[in-house]
Amino acid sequence: MSANASERTWTVGELADELGVTTRTLRHYEAEGLLAPSRSGQNRVYTARDRARLRLILRGRRFGMTLAECREIVDMYDGAESSEMLQLKTLLGRLDEIIADLRRRQDDLRRTLREVQDTAELCRRRLTELEI
Residue 64 is a binding residue for a second copy (CB under 8 A):
yes
Q: How far is the CB of 89 from a second copy (least distance, A)?
A: 7
47 binds DNA (CB under 7 A): no
62 binds a second copy (CB under 8 A): yes
Residue partners of 47: CB distance under 8 A and separation at least 6: 7, 9, 37, 38
Q: To the nearest whole angstrom, how small is the minimum distance from the Cβ of residue 87 to DNA?
A: 25
- In terms of Cα–Cα distance, which of 59, 67, 50, 73 is closest to 20? 59
Residues of the shown chain interacting with a second copy in the complex, contacts defined by CB under 8 A: 56, 59-65, 73, 76-77, 80-83, 85, 88-89, 91-92, 95-96, 98-99, 102-106, 108-113, 115-117, 119-120, 122-124, 126-127, 130-131
